[in-house]
Each structure stands twice: as C-alpha cells, then as structure tokens.
Chain A
C-alpha cells in the first residue's frame, strides 16, 4: 500500500485517487457478491455445522480444558476457520475475472494497482464480518457466554485475518491463473495451518506431545486463535491477546504487500 503513496508533488492527489479507486473496486466486488450470495452462505455453513455437530461433544470436556464454557474455547477457533477458509478461496473469483479480461482492463486504467487488490480485500473483510456476527449469534443459541467487547474484538480479528489470507489468495491466483492449481495449493496451506493452530482442541504443553506443541508454536495462526480465546475470556489486554493482535496485523501487512506487488508486477 505504502508504495503508491510515495512522496511527490502529486501525493495528495494520488492519495485521493487511491481512496476513490479502492472504493470503486470495493463497491463493484460487493455488488457482485450480494447478487450471488451462494458462496457467502456456503462459507458460513461449514463453521455452523462444526458448531452444531461438534460443539456439543466439547461441553463435557470444557472443565478438563480449563474453560468455564466450552463455546468460549470453540467459537474462536471457528472464527479463525471462517476467516481463513472463506478468504483463501476468493482467488477463484479472481481467476474467473482474469479470464473475462477484467483484470487486464483494470490494469490498463490509471487506477493504482494496490487499489485493485485492496478494494476486493475490503469486500472479503466485510463478508467475513457479517458471517462472523451470524456465527456468534448462532453460538449464543448453543450457550456461548462471553463479554461483549471480547466478542467484538474476536470478530474483528477474524476479519483482519481474512484480509491477510484474501490478499494472499489473490496474489497466488494471479500468478497461477488456474483453478486446478489453486485448489490443492490452498488446501495444502490451510489444512496444516488449521490443525496446528488448535482450533478444535487447544494445543498446550499439557495436552500435546512436546514436539507437536513446539511445531504449533511456530504457526502464527495458533497465536491468533489463542488471542481470540483470551478476548472471549475477557482478557482483552492480556499478553496472549496482544500477541494475537500483533501477529494478525503483521499477517495483514505481509498479505497486502504481496497482493499489491503481484498486481503491480507485469505479466511475464
């Protein structure tokens, strides 16, 4: 992002263009998503199914895992799953747009390349925000108990995580330009990341073999999940929560940088 805001006589004008074009791309992408909400609904279906069909199994285990409320432990994992899985597959839409020539048409316009990515990513963030709110609402019906601000921060963190993974997905999609290559690659990234983040059952020194615990410690997503769990438990300012925010923001920065860079790079 920062690269488009380079200093110069026309900096202010360029910044104006950047905001305006980002919003144009965002509105266009959102309009297409709203007209065809199948994907957004499908994306929500997976965590809701986990919630309904797996959540009840955790209820009796909650005390053993050190939580007063099983859903306080489980819903943060589902939010992360929502943010990751929903966002990782947005690249499919981009490939179809690329095939239609939309990306090329946008790249021959004077719009900043980063605006072309960011506008789409904002749409994906909004979709995950809405999905997250629905998920939390459904979780309440199942018996989730958590402080309001913890919930708000948790959903926001998941949405930010979506921004990181959506950017990554766009970058990879634009390089691969093939659904057949994108699907296995994204699954290959997502599955180990999810399993190693302890979204279903927390991976701790007490619950896991030492090697598994160490391997999972390297996984940034684990710290995001732990962060949201701390938020849900009401420890908004705790070290664990702070690590969660910091890592999420770092992932967003890396993701957007990659995305913008890929859009700026000419086709080879």
Chain B
C-alpha cells in the first residue's frame, strides 16, 4: 500500500540546510495498522506530509495507494484519507455540511455524501451532531469528526497524524476502538503517527521507529520489545548475605545482561525471561538461596526507545503510564 525508498526532505533555512528527513525506506501492506513512532522533531510529521502529497520530497520516491507520489499526486490524493493533527473543520461551519462539502471535493455526489456522512456519524458516536456548529463540539467529538472527514470518500489508505493528542484518557481509548474498526470493518490500511507508546502498543500491528530523520527500528510491538531489551527479572533476597550468590546464579542465564544489585534486590535482563524464570527459581532453590519475592517485568516500548536512541520518548507533559508489570 505504501512503498518508499530514500524519501528525504531538506529545508533550507537562514542557517543552512536542515535535513528534516534524511532518507526513509518503508513498506506498508494492505490491511495493516502501522504506527510511526518518534519524539517530537524526529521527522514523523514531515514524512507524513510527504506521503500525503503536502510536501514535495527533496530526494527519493514512493508509491502510495498504487500511484507514484512524485508524478501522479492527484491519484494519490483521490485514494488516501488524511486526518491532520490540526483538525479539518471550521469552527463557524456545521458538522454535517463540512463533511458533505469535503466529499464534493472528491467528486462524490451530494446524496451519496449525505448517506455516507450519516452512517459515519453513527459509527463514530456522533449521532445528533449533524447540525451542530463545529466550535461547540468537545475535543473528542471534533477529532472523530476529523476522522469522518478523512473517510468520507472511502479511501483504502488512511493517514492519522497523532490522532489522540490532547484527548483525555477515556476519549483516547474510545478513539482506539474506532481506529481498529477502520481495519476490521472497512478493510482499510492505517498509517498513524504517535508519540504515545501505549497507543502504539495497543493499536499497531507493526511499528516503525524514526529518530533524527531516519528509521531506526521496525517490527511488531512484541518483536521490538523482545529484540531490544528482553524481560527484566527482579529477585528480592531474604538474607543480605545471599545477594552475591543470587547474582551469580542469575548471571548464568543465557544471553542475560550483567545482574545489577540494589540493596537486597537483584535485577537481570534476558530475552524471553519468562520462559527462563522457572529454571532460575529451581537453580536458586537447589543452592539453598531464599527469596522474598520475584517480579517479571515485560519491557515497554519506552525501554525499546531508550535502548535504540539513548533517550526516553516520554516528555514531561505527555507522560503516559505504561503497564510494566503486565505479563
């Protein structure tokens, strides 16, 4: 559905050329939900704006929804839906009219547009808001209206730019349901950017991580977590004098990182840690080492990101709670 090779964008500023995107290769198949993950300024939005014809690539090429991005942007535009971060409806206008007018620009006739619009409003929990002024809608409603705008011409490929930024947790969870329905009920391909790790984790079949204008990793959320960090096993010793021995046993785990000791707890990271846990406990028992407790922490995408880029994806304002203990 998307195939990009060496897609790059350079901005010329007064201080010289700035590589916003240095060269992105990516492939998205039909029916996938792909997350495009990266911190602010990593090149997410620039890449998205290139793929949606809003920005001409400086270098590289891409086929989007079966059409050449450079030579046939008109066909690309007809076939894709784009839900921008900034919204898509005027506060002064009425919700239903905005959706119909948008459909008309795609050559959809008025009657079809109205029928589709009403159906989308029902599917997106916007019932009864057809005649409302957009400015009077709540943040979540207006976001879902943006999605209706992006879907009114029934695109096969939908781009969502940070769809849940600025929404409260309930509205976000609600929107996730609708994004999943895009694929499950409509068979659409979804390409979304986000800087929320839990969002990428919960929604996406596959994740592309972009940093400093290039893709640094890709895979399913599970693959990424396993490949990069491994599970953390935290062992709490009953007796302080056992700590060193416990660490020595833990160090024997295959592919494990060197155990770290903090007071009476020993922490070790190993790929597929949960399958090793039983054996580890038996080995500790055999040596007569007693434990107060054991904790297995699955890696979060934040761990992945930290490992890949050396910095955390979270920034203070959007700190998300990731469910670290979930196994």
Please state if B93 and A32 are interface contacts (CB–CB under 8 Å).
yes
| A1-60 at interface with B (beta carbon < 8 Å) | 17, 20-21, 24-25, 27-28, 31-32, 35-36
Tell me if A111 is interfacial: C-beta within 8 Å of chain B: yes
**Residues on the A chain within 8 Å of B90, using CB:** 32, 96-97, 100, 102
Tell me if A64 is interfacial: C-beta within 8 Å of chain B: no
Tell whether A32 pairs with B92 under 8 Å between CB atoms, given A107-B54, A110-B78.
yes
Please state if A101 and B84 are interface contacts (CB–CB under 8 Å).
yes
Please state if A24 and B105 are interface contacts (CB–CB under 8 Å).
yes
Tell whether A111 pairs with B11 under 8 Å between CB atoms, given A28-B97, A101-B88, A105-B88.
no
Please state if B91 and A100 are interface contacts (CB–CB under 8 Å).
yes
Please state if A110 and B105 are interface contacts (CB–CB under 8 Å).
yes
Chain B's nearest CB lies how many Å from the CB of A170?
15
**Residues on the A chain within 8 Å of B134, using CB:** 100
Tell me if B16 is interfacial: C-beta within 8 Å of chain A: no
Give the interface residue-count category, chain B.
20 to 34
Please state if A105 and B92 are interface contacts (CB–CB under 8 Å).
no
Please state if A105 and B54 are interface contacts (CB–CB under 8 Å).
no
CB closest chain-A residue, reference B149? A105
CA distance A101 to B93 in the complex (A): 13
Tell me if B107 is interfacial: C-beta within 8 Å of chain A: yes
Please state if A100 and B106 are interface contacts (CB–CB under 8 Å).
no
CA distance A84 to B74 in the complex (A): 35
Q: How does the 8 Å CB contact mask read for B67-83 relative to A, with 1 for contact and 0 for none?
A: 00000001001101010
Chain B's nearest CB lies how many Å from the CB of A230?
40
Tell me if B89 is interfacial: C-beta within 8 Å of chain A: yes
Chain B's nearest CB lies how many Å from the CB of A30?
11
Please state if A267 and B54 are interface contacts (CB–CB under 8 Å).
yes
**Which of A24, A96, A101, A107 is within 8 Å of B89, CB to CB?**
A101
Q: How does the 8 Å CB contact mask read for B42-82 relative to A, with 1 for contact and 0 for none?
A: 00000001001111100000000000000000100110101
CA distance A28 to B92 in the complex (A): 11
Tell me if A268 is interfacial: C-beta within 8 Å of chain B: yes
Please state if B84 and A268 are interface contacts (CB–CB under 8 Å).
no
| A90-105 at interface with B (beta carbon < 8 Å) | 96-97, 99-102, 104-105
Tell me if B104 is interfacial: C-beta within 8 Å of chain A: yes
Tell whether A106 pairs with B93 under 8 Å between CB atoms, given A101-B87, A266-B56.
no
Tell me if A189 is interfacial: C-beta within 8 Å of chain B: no
**Residues on the A chain within 8 Å of B11, using CB:** 268
Chain B's nearest CB lies how many Å from the CB of A207?
45
Please state if B78 and A102 are interface contacts (CB–CB under 8 Å).
no
CA distance A36 to B86 in the complex (A): 24
Total of A-B residue pairs, C-beta within 8 Å: 80
Tell me if B101 is interfacial: C-beta within 8 Å of chain A: yes
**Residues on the B chain within 8 Å of A206, using CB:** none
**Residues on the A chain within 8 Å of B89, using CB:** 100-102, 105
Q: How does the 8 Å CB contact mask read for B128-158 relative to A, with 1 for contact and 0 for none?
A: 0000001000000000001001000000000
Chain A's nearest CB lies how many Å from the CB of B103?
9
Tell whether A31 pairs with B105 under 8 Å between CB atoms, given A267-B54, A268-B11.
no
Tell me if B102 is interfacial: C-beta within 8 Å of chain A: yes
**Residues on the B chain within 8 Å of A104, using CB:** 54, 84, 86, 88
Q: How does the 8 Å CB contact mask read for A122-159 relative to B, with 1 for contact and 0 for none?
A: 00000000000000000000000000000000000000
Please state if A266 and B93 are interface contacts (CB–CB under 8 Å).
no
CA distance A25 to B16 in the complex (A): 39
Please state if A108 and B82 are interface contacts (CB–CB under 8 Å).
yes
**Residues on the A chain within 8 Å of B56, using CB:** 266
Tell whether A106 pairs with B105 under 8 Å between CB atoms, given A28-B93, A31-B97.
yes
CA distance A27 to B101 in the complex (A): 9
Q: How does the 8 Å CB contact mask read for B236-279 relative to A, with 1 for contact and 0 for none?
A: 00000000000000000000000000000000000000000000
CA distance A111 to B101 in the complex (A): 11
CA distance A97 to B106 in the complex (A): 20
Please state if B92 and A36 are interface contacts (CB–CB under 8 Å).
yes
Can you show 15 pairs from A to B with CB atoms below 8 A apart? A24-B101, A28-B93, A35-B92, A96-B90, A100-B86, A100-B134, A101-B84, A101-B87, A101-B89, A104-B54, A104-B84, A104-B86, A108-B80, A110-B78, A267-B54
Contacts A31-B97, A108-B77, A110-B78 aside, 8 further interface pairs with beta carbons under 8 A come to A21-B104, A96-B90, A101-B87, A101-B88, A105-B82, A105-B89, A105-B149, A266-B55
Interface residues of A (CB under 8 A from B): 17, 20-21, 24-25, 27-28, 31-32, 35-36, 96-97, 99-102, 104-111, 266-268
Interface residues of B (CB under 8 A from A): 11, 49, 52-56, 74, 77-78, 80, 82, 84-93, 97, 101-102, 104-107, 134, 146, 149
